[in-house]
Amino acid sequence: MFVLYNTGMITEQKLRILTEAAKFDVSCSSSGSDRRNEGGIGNAAANGCCHSFTPDGRCISLLKILLSNDCVFDCKYCRNRVSSDTPRATATPDEICELVIEFYKRNYIEGLFLSSSVFVSPDHTMEQLLLTAKKLRTEYNFHGYLHVKGIPRADPRLVHETALYADRMSYNIELPSERSLRLLAPQKSRESLLLPMKDLQLSKIAFKEEKRKGKFLPAGQTTQMIVGATPETDGTILRLSQSLYRVNGLKRVYYSSYVPVVHDPLLPEKAAGEVREHRLYQADWLLRFYGFSAEELVGEEGNLSLETDPKCAWALRNMQLFPVEVNRAPLEMLLRVPGIGARSAYKITEARRYTTLRFEDLKRMRVVLKRAKHFLTADGKFYGEKREQAVRSLLAEGKPEQLSLFSDRETVFSALTGEL
Ligand code: SF4
């Protein structure tokens, strides 16, 4: 928690409640670490700060806070729901603005992730979020990164105006089907979440085409889905993500493994675990950068394998397509070889214009050969194992592992980003 000196603004108690209440939202990319300060320097478990990445790849720290946690909605999984007995607080737009400016001047943060429970009504909440964003930009002259949460059922005109001040907005889908929403978040519906996303995307396109002055959500939109609270399969989740990327132009879908923070007979008692979430991030990466479709990765009623990553699982189901010759295979096929990441695939297509690539060359290009060797030939030579043995080796090494300083560079990179 931050220590406030002479700021004469929001109280520490209010700040604690509003930052604590914001910590379960991962749609702004947060570390989620639970390492506490036990006498040393720093505290990774403190609420209030998270990190995000700008389009040019910079990592920036954000103040992550709710405007209010005094919610009138009653989503069963949420600690801030109206029927929950939790301390409540609501900040004013000026309190948030002053906090941001003070923290920015002290170099604590570079931007703001501003969310809110639905307090009073959806329109009132959206109005207060808009007012905060507008004040920050026009009165406090703040030009840092600003991510604002969209409120379901709020007047589209308020949402649209907020987008003129925010860098990014997000509507959290939370539950992947209408049925689960009806059951666990009765005041929300798919329409109340998906329509504003689509509206924002269409307005962004129109804004660009009409070459209007100013900015309209330059960092686009994101959303979050809770995984494991309801029975939807990975197939359903990934089809929804695919449609969000293709139709609504979303920048990122975040997956948040279900953690029980409230007790309700409709909810599982145990946390969903992180392996499934990790596999979904890997599959999501394949959707966005590797040309895979959700249908190729998993059947609608099915789940991703927990044993091996989704690209390897796809390759094992399609062994008739392999091995491919690395000097001739089209880029789209190289991207499907387990162990060849997007960067390696592009390097290969570039290098083979000048020379015939051999196995040693691939090593130098940081291709993960212990996986890739089963699926390719280099200059006509195959170094993999026979099919059954290859399957056994890949399944054995595919299990998610604890990363350490001694894990190889590609494995660490893959686990951090989802890249395969
Ligand atoms: S709208 Fe639902 S999820 Fe959001 S704060 Fe209120 S109860 Fe929680």
Q: What is the pLDDT of residues 86-123, one digit of tens each?
A: 999 999 999 999 999 999 999 889 999 999 999 999 99
What is the layout of strands, in order, in the sheet containing 145-149?
A: 49-53, 59-66, 111-115, 145-149, 168-170, 221-227, 252-257
Whose CA is closest to atom 5 on ligand 1?
117
Atom of ligand 1 nearest to the CA of 117: 5
Please give the structure tokens belonging to residue 283.
């599959």
Structure confidence at residue 40 (pLDDT): 54
Is the CB of 73 within 6 Å of ligand 1? yes
Ligand 1, pocket-test mutation among 65, 69, 71, 175, most atoms within 8 A of CB: 71
pLDDT value at position 146? 95
Span 26-32, average pLDDT: 49
Mutate to test the pocket of ligand 1, among 20, 73, 182 (most ligand atoms within 8 A of CB): 73
Please identify, in words, the CATH class of the domain defined by 12-218.
Answer: alpha beta
Ligand 1 centroid – CA 113 distance (Å): 16
CATH 3.20.20 positions along the chain are 12-218
pTM of the predicted model over 0.75:
yes
Res 8: pLDDT: 52
Q: What is the pLDDT of residue 3?
A: 47
The gap between the terminal CA atoms of the chain, to the nearest Å, is 36
How far is ligand 1, taken at its centre, from the CA of residue 33, in Å? Answer: 23
- pLDDT for 27 equals 58
8 Å CB contact between 143 and 111 = no
Among 5-19, 105-119, 154-168, whose mean pLDDT is lowest? Answer: 5-19
CB of 9 shorter than 6 A to ligand 1:
no
Give 414's pLDDT tier (boundaries 50, 70, 90).
very low
CA dist., res. 13 & res. 346, Å (int): 52
